[in-house]
Structure 1
């Protein structure tokens, strides 16, 4: 099978190479294929992408080193496979009858539509690209378009032409020649605004104008200025104003490369029956805000039987009102007596949609006929409730740092408006089975990981506190409160665990594209169900302890047999460790083996003890990303977390006694106490032509104090994996230059740096070149190993570097990612052997991921 696959691959490769020798095989006689466009501006070749985007014809796309892969794939295709198939029988009389006897006539006809005869050629035509035949009419249109492009940039005297250079073998290049002359600059600026109130409004923000004297003329600036003026007016009561009412008179008469600008805004014009009426613009105020809480879009003449007025908001319902008035009123920014403002409509729509109890709201305005001046508006807000109960089920196949593959099912039920205050209650369950080759698996089962649990979440669309926070966090920031409880149980996954969580979080948006989250408390209780399985899970710790035991253990009951002398898990490992620490084996505290056993025992105790964490944290995120298509943006995220401090304050106030270890307890369990902070920065640059440069930097540190001298495993850092340093497996890098001696290596400080160049390969296939750097270290905790600890700037030489290549397939809604990481600089290797020692495919790490790593 392998030989057949190799032959097929070789055949395809040879076919492409042969085809490459004649890229013009589909170019008709008398025609030429465009191989290059060149735009020459004032005798200099430009690389401005926007200029090349004006051209109607572009050369065939290329792959690596200018190779026209898609063109050659197209050339491999038979453009008329049906005719070729029929011609085969015409040229060989009797062939059709013979095949019909063997297959049947229907099957022979169907064979012509098979992938071998028909489908492969359709596939090649689809993924391929026909030759770019030069069309003179399109070239002329491109010249005209370039002229307008530069004219709109202020070059009013621009001249354009083109030159066609024919190359042998039906190829040609087109050079577009642009002579811009001198640009026109804006000279005097004046305004002619017919409506006095608009003239006054304009003057309040004239300093924000995008058009200023001395600037080079650009049509885009004038279009943006129209939108700026319209936005300003509509946010200050001018309900009927639109950008089309703004015009500019550009005067260049008797001017040398200068233009006078007159901004003109005429009065409001509208159709009144059969005539056109013109009158000054009015600034409108809101006279009433009517909210229809159970509007049905496909029904007319709806009768609203219940109504209530709350803080000048009129709420109507066809049946008994199901919402507490404040719950709806808090989401409305359009208020009675205020000026009409577009931004209030947008903010109200956003807030109402964020409640998740209504379909997308509809907000309409009509002139209040009760107002004799006709300058008042009635705001009508139509809300269509979603179903009170909704059920869902989520099925997923995942890959993570722990599981090579996981299959999960998560059913859920959502209850909306559960307490009539627009709250949302969600109850969900989850079940997962998975496979991990890194975990202890004595029965050699494929699915050796399982987890199940349940979560309860209550979302309240306001800050839920006994006092008002409006002055600190106004409702324009769309605040919300999330209360959650969770229970999860892992089995067949090492030590097995029960995980209880509870949290109260406050979320709001201080500014556009900024988010803030304050966790009043986030509690976690981790209970290890199978601590005696420790040495089965952490095999490297067992190997190290067993090596010492073979030398110093004198009690045969601790061995599985007297020949191999392997320590028995659990009785032998526990017995020998106690013997060493009690000085019963001849080892003393100054011996390296004694310190090794002590270190192994300290790690075992830390990773098998139950943890209770009560933390408070604040997270702030800022980004300039506008949407999913934005390729030039940055994201900054920072977090600070404090755990155990509140419990210590209570213990101090109540004079709580300490245990034998000198620490305080809650529920007979030592609680964790630490402070943790993180900084994460991501930046993307659009390099044009579907090329993107992305970088990421991360720094995190968690410092134990008071009741703790180490950080719980669940709050520690690890390095390696598909979203980190991709040249190492998860948990297999660090700490420092220690060489990852443990099975799951973690520490309390982390530095991560990554850079990635992304580019298009073919269609939806994308490629990447990347470099990752970083490591983890122990700092200010109970680890003393110099190789693992951070000792100032000199420890930065322990930053590991990985580099590699990636292949991605873009499905629009997600990206499937494969990355090959190569160890470029390994700090664990001895001096002189740190660079490029394992830089080959045999030692590479293949990472599978969903979506981009950053």
Structure 2
């Protein structure tokens, strides 16, 4: 039976392939040929097979036009174009299907063989194959045609020597400066000649000269002469300054006066200087008639001082810091040569257009969380971007929301949230001792205070208070640090219903009682983030975030707290938590093409409670499962370890938690058409307890932890609406860790035709945004 179905399926696929392949050409007019692309043959005895393959790939990518996109030899987008037909209207479904989803046929008459041959020959010569010869032809089969190019590159010319200007007595300052850059040259003896490397070398030298004050110098003022007459397929390179380089490009410029317009508009009269408007502060001339900003903020952001040699690096860092202050809508600058005897000074002008000082923003959000709750939230945010005239940002937010669990064990117990938060951010380090950041990003000091009231319908309510003080700073665009010198969290329960108390009495594990315990947590938190995901051209992108959370250490040492003595030490009548918790989140994105990507994630976490605590406070414990975790299992329903949460079918609100966490995810993402993207994924992971709990057999971490990983798989669709990404995932388990050993893999039980299997195993997730 299974074999017969498989044969039918293969036959259906084969017929479908044949039909799709033939149907694309039957729509062509008489004499038209469908263009299938270009083949390039590289004929060379001196190149290895690998080198010929690489050259062929590079050259084929240069040919134009590009053929219709294909998948396994099929062209589905072209098929959709033909299937939709000529629309009668410029708008409508057929027009959308034809122009947005489909793709117009690329015909052979659009191909210029001679032009492509010239492009390939020029490219090969620029790579050092000076004697390259290219011929072009075509082949036809039915109503399809291909372009064929044969290139005989000949030997590649290599670099024999590189000569820079001399750094000797009598040499001009410009030549001497260029000579001193030779140590880091990109032109290496023995390398193949490459015009792109020569262009990069000119840009490198120009960048170095900009650091040394040559404000008006440009890469075009340099030339690299090539002597290919020396024989043996070698070249000598000579780096020189062009003879027609203007005198201003040969001068080193210094900064003279620095003018700052912090309230600049496009009106012409705003750049005039009235003596009553001017503030002289250190090396700056500030024209701020309305006295919007304290002058000292410019001393923190400006990297230029009067008398400094111009530096492109300082130029860019200054602009970056001014922009990063967050109070200016536009930041631009200009340099003008001072008309004096030396003619080698620059006046610097900074024109800053401020954002509105105060603003209010109202947001209505759709949201999901890891516990499968879906709902909406209303946020009202009031901001003051220049609270004390030092670019301080004060934000006061009020929020309220409703969340409903659309799937899972606890449907019907809605969550209502209301609260507020105030944040004050200073664009500098505030500390008893001096701290500096040398990056183009302004360091920040942040103070936060907030309150939230949460009511879980028919169960309980929680009052949460939070306050923190800390620092945020970036080394560069990739590396970011955050240090909360202290974060204080106080959770106090209220309105616990009889229903919930009854369930607490029935729960032998103590899980439900943890949720409504009073909690007092205070201590520092440090996090480090590294990412290069903003560099879209990279084939491999990574993201890493590590967090170290330490609570109650000093208080525990000072009081000698030790819960094992039979009691806990309290602050204001509440036991404080004492623990160390570390967590690492590593993600890798492998871009196969502009439309295909493999995304993977590893999360590992460990928490150790000691002193005044037996275990981590509930809000700091690890959870797993749900829409952004292991999607084949309900939120917080896995683990810990091999503990079986299904033993008691009436168990209430499991919310299983642990001290140790390991999670692994990977998914292939593919753009299908228009706003629709598809994904196929595999998730694995679990949580464990650090110590044995008699009420939860199999929950503790052991050497068998790999045998206790939950595994799930599934497929999904993502709808990219630009302002948000709506995600749907359909998943099912492959491995259930709570089953007896030897029976945990359930792949052989998969049966999509069984309603009972679907009801027990299929999990549908609706979420906003990617899971990672």
Aligned pair in 2 of structure 1 residues 235, 670: CA closer, same or farther (>3 Å)?
same
Aligned pair in 2 of structure 1 residues 622, 15: CA closer, same or farther (>3 Å)?
closer
Is 1:451–2:446 an aligned residue pair?
A: no
Is 1:727–2:632 an aligned residue pair?
A: yes
Deviation of 1:764 (Å): 4.0
Alignment partner, residue 361 of structure 1: 331
Question: Structure 2 length as normaliser, TM-score?
Answer: 0.88
1:78-477 equivalences under 5 Å are: 78-79=85-86, 81=88, 119-121=93-95, 123-135=97-109, 137-168=111-142, 170-192=143-165, 196-266=172-242, 269-270=245-246, 278=247, 281-300=250-269, 302-304=272-274, 305-319=276-290, 321-369=291-339, 371-437=340-406, 448-470=414-436, 473-474=437-438
Contact persistence 1:800–1:827 (CA under 8 A): yes
Deviation of 1:849 (Å): 3.4
Alignment partner, residue 448 of structure 2: 484
**Structure 1 residue corresponding to 2:61, chosen from 53, 72, 85:** 53
Aligned pair in 2 of structure 1 residues 477, 131: CA closer, same or farther (>3 Å)?
closer
In 1, Cα distance between the equivalents of 2:16 and 2:592? 34
Q: Is the partner of 1:227 in helix, strand or coil?
A: helix
Q: Is the partner of 1:360 in helix, strand or coil?
A: strand
Contact persistence 2:727–2:767 (CA under 8 A): yes
Contact persistence 1:709–1:782 (CA under 8 A): no
**Structure 2 residue corresponding to 1:773, chosen from 684, 689, 695:** 684
Contact persistence 2:330–2:354 (CA under 8 A): no
In 2, Cα distance between the equivalents of 1:27 and 1:33? 8
Deviation of 1:77 (Å): 2.5
Alignment partner, residue 588 of structure 1: none
Number of equivalences:
731
**Structure 2 residue corresponding to 1:829, chosen from 731, 739, 745:** 739
Deviation of 1:826 (Å): 2.1
Contact persistence 1:486–1:501 (CA under 8 A): yes
1:696-711 equivalences under 5 Å are: 696-711=601-616
In 1, Cα distance between the equivalents of 2:576 and 2:433? 30
**Structure 1 residue corresponding to 2:76, chosen from 69, 75, 98:** 69
Deviation of 1:790 (Å): 0.4
Deviation of 1:724 (Å): 1.9
| Structure 1 unmatched ranges of 5 or more | 1-13, 83-112, 271-277, 537-568, 578-596
In 1, Cα distance between the equivalents of 2:29 and 2:60? 26
Contact persistence 2:320–2:440 (CA under 8 A): no
Is 1:606–2:579 an aligned residue pair?
A: no
Alignment partner, residue 575 of structure 2: 670
Contact persistence 1:362–1:382 (CA under 8 A): yes
Deviation of 1:762 (Å): 2.9
In 2, Cα distance between the equivalents of 1:227 and 1:364? 22
Alignment partner, residue 11 of structure 1: none
Which range is displaced more, 718-727 or 212-221?
A: 718-727
Which range is displaced more, 724-733 or 836-845?
A: 836-845
Deviation of 1:617 (Å): 1.4
Is 1:799–2:700 an aligned residue pair?
A: no
Contact persistence 1:330–1:475 (CA under 8 A): no
Please identify the structure whose Cα radius of gyration is greater: 1
Q: Is the partner of 2:353 in helix, strand or coil?
A: coil
Q: Is the partner of 1:467 in helix, strand or coil?
A: coil
In 2, Cα distance between the equivalents of 1:831 and 1:459? 54
Aligned pair in 2 of structure 1 residues 687, 573: CA closer, same or farther (>3 Å)?
closer
Q: Is the partner of 1:330 in helix, strand or coil?
A: helix
Alignment partner, residue 87 of structure 1: none
Deviation of 1:380 (Å): 1.4
Contact persistence 1:405–1:436 (CA under 8 A): yes
In 2, Cα distance between the equivalents of 1:781 and 1:504? 37
Contact persistence 1:295–1:384 (CA under 8 A): yes
**Structure 1 residue corresponding to 2:473, chosen from 508, 511, 516:** 508
Deviation of 1:171 (Å): 1.6
Deviation of 1:705 (Å): 0.6
Contact persistence 1:268–1:280 (CA under 8 A): no
Q: Is the partner of 2:217 in helix, strand or coil?
A: coil
Post-superposition CA distance 1:810-831 (Å, at most 9, x none): 3455443333323122222223
Q: Is the partner of 1:328 in helix, strand or coil?
A: helix
Superposed CA RMSD in Å reads 3.0
Post-superposition CA distance 1:251-276 (Å, at most 9, x none): 21242321111112136745xxxxxx
1:523-542 equivalences under 5 Å are: 523-532=488-497, 536=500
Contact persistence 1:611–1:672 (CA under 8 A): yes
Deviation of 1:510 (Å): 2.4
Aligned pair in 2 of structure 1 residues 355, 121: CA closer, same or farther (>3 Å)?
closer
Q: Is the partner of 1:259 in helix, strand or coil?
A: strand
Is 1:34–2:46 an aligned residue pair?
A: no
Deviation of 1:235 (Å): 1.3
Q: Is the partner of 1:81 in helix, strand or coil?
A: coil
In 1, Cα distance between the equivalents of 2:766 and 2:131? 56
In 1, Cα distance between the equivalents of 2:343 and 2:91? 72
Deviation of 1:476 (Å): 5.2
Contact persistence 1:268–1:281 (CA under 8 A): no
Deviation of 1:438 (Å): 5.7
Q: Is the partner of 2:314 in helix, strand or coil?
A: helix
Aligned pair in 2 of structure 1 residues 439, 772: CA closer, same or farther (>3 Å)?
closer
In 1, Cα distance between the equivalents of 2:627 and 2:476? 33
Q: Is the partner of 1:496 in helix, strand or coil?
A: strand
In 1, Cα distance between the equivalents of 2:156 and 2:724? 45
Contact persistence 1:408–1:430 (CA under 8 A): yes
